[in-house]
Amino acid sequence: VTPGHKSLVVAMGCFWCAEEAFEHYAPGVVEAVSGYSGGTSSNPTYRNHAGHMEVVLVEYDPAKTSYQVLLNYAWRNMDPFDGTGQFCDKGSSYHPAIFYDGEEEHSIALSVLDKILEEHSWSAVQIEVSLLERTTFWKAEDYHQNYYIKKSDSYAYYKERCGRVDRLIQVWGDKEYHCYHDLDSACFPTATNASGVEVESEVNVKGVPVTEAGLLPPFAVVLLSVAGGMIVLCVCCTLYWRCRKRKTMMKGIASTDDEAFVSSTMDNTAIALDDAEIETQKI
């Protein structure tokens, strides 16, 4: 983390989606990094991170936002009632959690939760999101970083088919969802920074547009394109060989007709000669 900046760690299911949510919509965010945390093993990997959760480390500028503000964005990107995973991703790796570093952040995390429960008339026993003391953050493999940017079409298709947006709207309501997923910050033109000062909201630090999901995943589009090209090639080859076969047949017919004509002409000539010879003998 850059000197003068702060960070928080949250588990919101798939870390690709968490990374995109913070970098696109949360004010004051400098960078969101995908990784693993919550477990005890060292150097976890995507294929071997038992006990850890997929998390994001969010670096932010405390002059432009605060831990409290960012926690509100974290909650609006979770299904707080599902402790078995998030959306289409199930298993302990996708368990939702808020991590705090010290008593001050713990107190803030509890305060944010209490306000959410009050606003939505929910009970604490319904909530499956864990509040955990922050442990070592392990950065995920490079191919996971900025996935929503590097593989935008694949990411958009995955996010759509995973039902993430639909479920978040179902849980939080359409208006609240869109307020927390707005590149124009229409609902929150200002944000309270770590010093308690209201400042203008600055979002989408990387300036990346939101990619709309396609009807098919990118690999399917490629396969269909290849299949379409092969079909066109097969049709062209078939037409070519049919035309060639037809020309060969026509040549054969023409040759047969020529031979028949020559044979007929010779026969007629022979008959004419015979008739002439007979006439000569009569004379």
> Could you read off the pLDDT of 140-172 as tens digits, one per residue?
999 999 999 999 999 999 999 999 999 999 999
- Tokens 């936002």 correspond to 65
d(CA 55, CA 93): 9
Neighbouring C-alpha atoms within 13 Å toward the C-beta of 9: 24
- Tokens 């026509």 correspond to 250
- Min mean pLDDT across 61-70, 176-185, 248-257 is at 248-257
Q: What is the DSSP letter of 48?
A: B
* pLDDT for position 212: 87
- Min mean pLDDT across 1-10, 181-190, 247-256 is at 247-256
| Averaged pLDDT score across all residues of the chain | 87
By residue count, the chain amounts to: 283
d(CA 118, CA 221): 47
Nearest CA to 14 out of 179, 223, 154 is that of 154
d(CA 54, CA 73): 17
Residue 169 CB-density burial (10 A; 0-12 exposed, 13-18 middle, 19+ buried): middle
Counting residues of the chain whose pLDDT is more than 90, the rounded percentage is 74
List C-alpha distances in Å: 32 to 16, 119, 147, 148. Answer: 10, 28, 11, 12
Residue 5: partners with Cβ closer than 8 Å, 6 or more residues away: 30, 59, 60, 61, 62
Nearest CA to 25 out of 17, 14, 34 is that of 17
List C-alpha distances in Å: 254 to 58, 175, 240. Answer: 83, 80, 21
Please write the tens of the pLDDT for every residue from 111-121.
999 999 999 99
Residue 82: what residue type?
A: D
Neighbouring C-alpha atoms within 13 Å toward the C-beta of 86: 29
* pLDDT for position 208: 93
Which tokens go with 164? 């993430």
pLDDT beyond 50 at 238:
yes
Catalytic entry in 14, 88, 236, 243: 14
d(CA 82, CA 196): 33
Asked if 202 and 61 touch (Cβ cutoff 8 Å), the reply is no
d(CA 218, CA 232): 21
The question of whether 162 is a catalytic residue gets the answer: no
pTM: 0.77
Three-state DSSP state, 283: coil
- Min mean pLDDT across 62-71, 218-227, 230-239 is at 218-227
pLDDT beyond 50 at 221:
no
pLDDT beyond 60 at 189:
yes
- Tokens 């690999």 correspond to 219
Beta bridge partners of 235: none
Three-state DSSP state, 77: coil
Residue 207 CB-density burial (10 A; 0-12 exposed, 13-18 middle, 19+ buried): exposed
